[in-house]
Structure formats: structure tokens, C-alpha cells
A and B are shown apart, each in its own frame.
Chain A
Amino acid sequence: MQNKSLAQFLIGCLVIAFAFYIVFFGLNIGTASIPSVKDVIRYGLDLKGGVYIVYEAAKKNPTKREMESAVQLIRTRLDMRNFYDATATLQGSKRIRVEIPGVKDPDEAIQYIGRTALIEFKGPSGDLIVSGRNVVDAYAQQTTSGYVVALKFDKEGAKKFAEATRKYLRQNIGIYLDGKLISNPVVRAEIDNGEAVIEGMKDLEEAKTLAQQIKAGALPFALNVIESRAIGPSLGNEALRTTLKAGIIGLLLVFLFMIIFYRLPGFIADIALVAYVVILVAIVGYAKITLTLPGIAGIILSAGMAVDANILIFARMKEELRAGKTLKAAMDAGFRRALNAVIDSNITTIIAGLVLLFLGTGPIKGFAWTLTIGIVVSFFTAITVTRFLLVSIINTGFFKDIRWYGGKKTREVRA
């Protein structure tokens, strides 16, 4: 029994140590490998520097599809500029948040994401044939007849365009950008497959620009910049470093505090706290939750709450021991009677975390994520890991003196 318990305890500690090693240093066995969390973690802009821009649709109630195509459009443009790290995400019903790491000047970024213009194809008499919303794709091409812009319409656009080319054969179809004529090609043949070519570009550059402009016109509304922030990369680095350092020092102080006030159970709680940090960091890292500065704060804060549950249990245990219960009975009672308070207090915090998650934006969301996940994980480790290790160590029978549990009198307690 005693040897078995000791083995149980040691195996428990080993599992946690092993998990700690894998998460923080990675693992390579033959072809299989688990990357260390620091290689996969996705840092927010506040930790690595960069630019973020929030766009708002200049239209009252844009549909979800319209907004999604706007996001797609911005992504295409970012890719065109090789900003593969950049992200564009919908925020609410009419905003798009663009994050570009490593860039210093938002104005420059706004320049190359470009403003969205209205593209229209008009007949000779000025009648509207199709607008940019029917354009699926536009790209520059070099053909035997020089540089051209190839266009692809969607179904509706193809139909309308076919009708127009039949009607205006050998006449001009004007291409207007924000009401300004930018190209006025002559229709040579009826086009019914939804693919058109604009000829007469001076060079590749001109063709590219026009293709881009037309693609930009694929949106039926303009996007306005309503917020933009730039964070220097050095600031981000420094923020990460000092916050991590502060977090580690803070955690070490909590470790000490627990050992001083709760002795052996406090030490066990510290091991459980390590398990908590490992699990939480693993979730944030491997599930690709963007880690922001407030996010780290959320982790550290929920670590404080993780020991909170244990303190509740141990304080209860101490009381039961004082009342003369056996060690095992005191522990069982401690866990059982503290559970209600632990559950209730955790759920109320989760309520706040979830409200924050749904109402918050940007960095606040990052904080809400880590806080909410943190509470769930801390609840789990405080109840299961602590209990498992504590039962094992009590059963080894090495620690019978009540002083190991924060009691004052030297009294042998029955295991």
C-alpha cells in the first residue's frame, strides 16, 4: 500500500514533468515530432509589433456575404504584397480588422490595401450594363496583341454582359472607376462565357493597376478606416519579456506563499499549479489562440484563481483536522465541503469571462479567452491533480505529523 502510493505519487509528478518538457521544449521521436509551444504560439500585435486597421463598411446594413467578400478582397491584396502573416477578420456585422505584423506605418498599409472604388461597365448611351459586384476575377495578361486585363463575371454578370455585347457589337463599352472613364474598349464579338478581355494597355504595370482597380470594384460599398494603431517591434519584444519575467516571479512568490502557509498540501498545490500552466499554455499554443498582453495577464490571473480553489480546500482541511478528524477523513471533508463554494465562485467568474468574450473586441477578447479557459483548467487541476497527489502522499504514511498540514500542535494523526 505504502510503496504503491509512493509510486503513484512519483508517477504523477513524472507525468507532469514530462508534459512540461514536451510543451516547452518539444519532442522528436523518429519521424513523429511535437513542436514546442513557443514555436507554434501565435502572438498578438502588441507582443510582436505591427499595424492594425479597423475598416467599417460605408453602407448601412451590409449582408454577411458582402462582408465576407470584402475580407477576401483584403486578404488577396495582402497576399499580393507578400504579407502572408497578415490577418483580416470580420468584427461584428460591418467591420473588418486587419492585422499586419512587422509593418511600422499604418498609412502605408492603408495605401496598399487600397481604398475600394466603384467599377461600372456602361454602354455608349451611358446605360449601366454590369457593376463591379458581378466581377469574380480580374488579372493582367500578356498576349500576342499586347498587354490586356482578363475579366471573369459571375453568372448574372455573364448573362448581362452577353446581352450587352450582342447589342453593342462594334461599339464601345466604357469602364468607369468612381464615375471616371478609365478604359473604352470596342466590342469585337459577342461574349457569352462570362470572360472578357480589355485590350490596349501601355505596359504590364498599367494592366496590373487596372486589374487591381477592377477587383477593388468587386465591392458594392466603400470601406472607411475608423481606427489604426502601430506598435513598434521593440516595444512588443520588451512587453513580452518583462511580462513573462513578472509572471514567473509572481508565480514563484505564490509557490512560496502556498508552502509557507499550507505546508505539504501547499507544495502539492504548487505541483498542480505547474500542471495548470502546462495545460493552459498547451491549449493556447496548439489551438492557435492569439496571445496578447492582456491574454498573458489573464493566464497569470487565473493562476491566482487556481490556487484559490486549493486554499479553500486546505483551509477546510485544517479546520477538520483541528476538530479531531483523521487525516484522510479531513481531506475528504475538505474537498467535499469546499466543492460547492469552488463551483459557485468559478461559475460566476466564467459568466464575467463569457460576457467579456462576446462583447469585447481585439485585445480584450484575448484576455477573455485565456481567463475563461484558465478558470476551467484551474478548476480541473485544483480538484483532480491536487487530490490525486495528496491522496497518494498521505497513503505513503511518511507525513503523519499535523505540522505538515499547517497545524500548530505536534500531534500524530491517524492516516
Chain B
Amino acid sequence: MTNIDFMGKRKYFYVLSILVMVIGLISYIIQGFNYDIDFTGGTVLEINLHKVPSAAEITDLEKLTKQITGTQTPIVRKIEDGKKIMINAHEVHGKKRTELSKETRDKLFNAIAKKYNLKKEDLISYQNVGAVVSSELKSQAVWAVIIASILMLIYIAIRFEFKFGTTAVIALLHDLLIMLTVYTLFKIPLNSTFIAAMLTVLGYSINDTIVVFDRIRENRRIQGKMDLKDLVNLSMNQTIGRSLSTAATVIIVLFVLYLMGVQSIKEFALPLLIGITSGTYSSIFIATALWFDWERSTRKKLQTKPKRA
């Protein structure tokens, strides 16, 4: 068994987490999120170019898209093996953004097809999403997180105690913020897949936290007289091997999926990789540490109160 003084170093990890989140906040203020069509409404075209376009060609394609559709900031990016591209575009009608009409879409594809000598099948897929769907998706996501968090908090509060539930949920929200930070920082497109990933992380990361809390609960019963810090450190050292193993198995699978998967799977594996890594970290360094500080402060109060009286 390892013998690491986790609690002694907890301040460093608080600082680290806050630092990452501050970076995320700054990035959000400066460049916001790269909302995918799922959130903004519009049309996404997936086209097989049969060759890897250069950066200049991508810029040209963006210009072409802007010209034909009127999209102010069209996004063209390479996907999968780099020979395929994805174009995000929309039409503007007054203040409203809409998906591309069939005519505009055909015009755009034909222009690109002419340039790269493409056939009809090379338009691999396209998606139209209305703005109604988009705004609903966003509120759905927020509701899902709130409802899931509350239900988990209630469950843990019943099975353990309120303090465990609250700190576990804070650690979860921490993981979501970390995920969002990575997304804004690297301008990764945010879409509905992200929501599914987010909720998976919510469900999965709490596993690790619960295992540690479960051990603290058990050790507290057996070793009641032990100093709180030693008790928490003991519990963490007892569970760290297992926490790393379980994280490893899931990360292995996700990593393979990310390396091999098609675009939509990559988009799913990436946020999960970030979230689960962050979840393993936060269950060890954030959830338990916060619980420790909270528990200690209430114990101190209990100890100091009688003196005052």
C-alpha cells in the first residue's frame, strides 16, 4: 500500500483547479464557445474531397461559402483522414439564422464539386437544424445537469450524509467546468454529443468519489479515534490503486475509440476522455479534500463552543 499525504498537499490542487477554471473563464470571455450547428441552427455539409486540402484551400473554401451562403463566419474543417471536410453554414434572414435552402446548398456543393472534380456521392451527409431545436437543446442540457445533480445529491445524502453528497456534486461540477475549459480553449465544436458525454461523466466520475467516501465511512466506524487527517489519508491510500485501475480500463477503451473512430465517435470519445480523467483527479484531490476541510471546520466548532460557554 502506498503512503502518500494527500491531505497535506490539498492546497496545491485547489490552486491548480482554480487556475484551470480561471483560464477557462478568460478564454470564454475572449473567444466564447465554438457552438456547433446543434446549438446555433444552420446546415452542416460533409464532403469527401479525396485529397487533403491545404490551409490556403480551407481559407478559399471558407470564402466561397461566405460568398454563396452569406454566412459571416463559416467554419470549414478537415475530419477523419483529412480528405473529408465539414462545412458549417447558415442563411441570414433579418435577425434570424436559418438552415440553407436546397438551392443554396446545391449551389455551394456544385461550386466545390466543380473545383475538386467531385461526384454527387461525395456529398456524404448534410444536416439541417432549426434554431428552435437548438435553443431547446441548450436548456435541455442545463436541466439534465441540474436534475441529475440534485438526484445524485439526494441519493448520496441518504446513503452517506449531506456533506458527502454536496462535496461529491461540487467535484462533478468541477469536472464539467474543466471539460468546458478544454472546449473553449481549443475551440472544439460544442454539440449535442457533448451533452451526452457530459452526463456520462456526471454518472461515471461520481463512482470514484463514492468509493473513496465509502472507505472513509467504513474506516471511521472501525478506527473511530483516529485523527481525521490520518483517517482520510489512510482511506485514500487504500483506494488509490483501485481508482487508477478503473480509470485506466475506461480510458484505454476511450482512447482506442478516439484513435480509430469515425468523426461522430471521436466527438464523443474526446469529451469523455477529458471528463473521466478530470473525474479521477477530482474524486481524489477535490471531493475528498473539500469534505475534509468542511468536516474539520465543523469539528473545530464543536470543540471550541463549550469553551466559550
Inside 8 A of A349's CB, which chain B residues have their CB?
A: 203-204, 206-207
Find A251's partner among B123, B206, B253, B262 (CB 8 Å cutoff). Answer: B253
How many angstroms between the C-alpha atoms of A38 and B264 in the bound complex?
22
Inside 8 A of A344's CB, which chain B residues have their CB?
A: 155-156, 159-160, 210, 214
> B248 contacts A246, CB within 8 Å?
no
User: Nearest chain-A residue to B123 (Cβ)?
Assistant: A232
Find A297's partner among B126, B257, B260 (CB 8 Å cutoff). Answer: B257
Inside 8 A of A311's CB, which chain B residues have their CB?
A: 242, 245-246, 249
Which of B12-20, B144-152, B287-295 binds A? B144-152
How many angstroms between the C-alpha atoms of A344 and B124 in the bound complex?
44
Find B147's partner among A229, A249, A261, A359 (CB 8 Å cutoff). Answer: A359
Which residues 257-302 of A sit at the B interface, judged by CB distance below 8 A? Answer: 257-258, 261, 293-294, 297, 300-301
User: Nearest chain-B residue to A347 (Cβ)?
Assistant: B155
Decide yes or no whether A351 CB sits under 8 A from chain B: yes
Find A355's partner among B147, B210, B241, B261 (CB 8 Å cutoff). Answer: B147
How many angstroms between the C-alpha atoms of A142 and B102 in the bound complex?
38
> A351 contacts B148, CB within 8 Å?
yes
Inside 8 A of B207's CB, which chain A residues have their CB?
A: 305, 308, 345, 348-349
9 tightest CB-CB pairs across the interface, nearest first? A352-B203, A250-B253, A304-B250, A349-B203, A345-B207, A229-B127, A246-B260, A341-B214, A315-B242
How many angstroms between the C-alpha atoms of A258 and B250 in the bound complex?
12
User: Nearest chain-A residue to B125 (Cβ)?
Assistant: A231
Q: Which of B125, B132, B160 has the most CB of A within 10 A?
A: B125
Interface string of B253-294 (1 = CB under 8 A from A): 111110111101100110010000000000000000000000
Inside 8 A of B125's CB, which chain A residues have their CB?
A: 229-232, 235
Decide yes or no whether B72 CB sits under 8 A from chain A: no
Which of A144-152, A163-171, A237-245 binds B? A237-245
Decide yes or no whether B118 CB sits under 8 A from chain A: no
CB distance from B96 to the nearest CB of A (A): 13
Decide yes or no whether B129 CB sits under 8 A from chain A: yes
* A106-B257 contact, Cβ under 8 Å, with A311-B246, A356-B199: no
Which residues 313-356 of A sit at the B interface, judged by CB distance below 8 A? Answer: 315, 319, 337, 340-341, 344-345, 347-353, 355-356
Find A348's partner among B152, B245, B259 (CB 8 Å cutoff). Answer: B152
Chain A interface (Cβ < 8 Å from any Cβ of B): 46, 54, 56, 106-107, 226-232, 234-235, 238-239, 242-243, 245-247, 249-251, 253-254, 257-258, 261, 293-294, 297, 300-301, 303-305, 307-308, 311-312, 315, 319, 337, 340-341, 344-345, 347-353, 355-356, 359-361, 363-364, 367-368, 371
Which of B24-32, B189-197, B299-307 binds A? B189-197
> B203 contacts A106, CB within 8 Å?
no
Inside 8 A of A307's CB, which chain B residues have their CB?
A: 246, 249
> B128 contacts A242, CB within 8 Å?
no
Decide yes or no whether B143 CB sits under 8 A from chain A: yes
Which residues 190-231 of B sit at the A interface, judged by CB distance below 8 A? Answer: 192-193, 195-196, 199-200, 202-204, 206-207, 210-211, 214-215, 218
Inside 8 A of B260's CB, which chain A residues have their CB?
A: 242-243, 245-246, 249
User: Nearest chain-A residue to B262 (Cβ)?
Assistant: A239
> B147 contacts A308, CB within 8 Å?
no
How many angstroms between the C-alpha atoms of A352 and B255 in the bound complex?
23
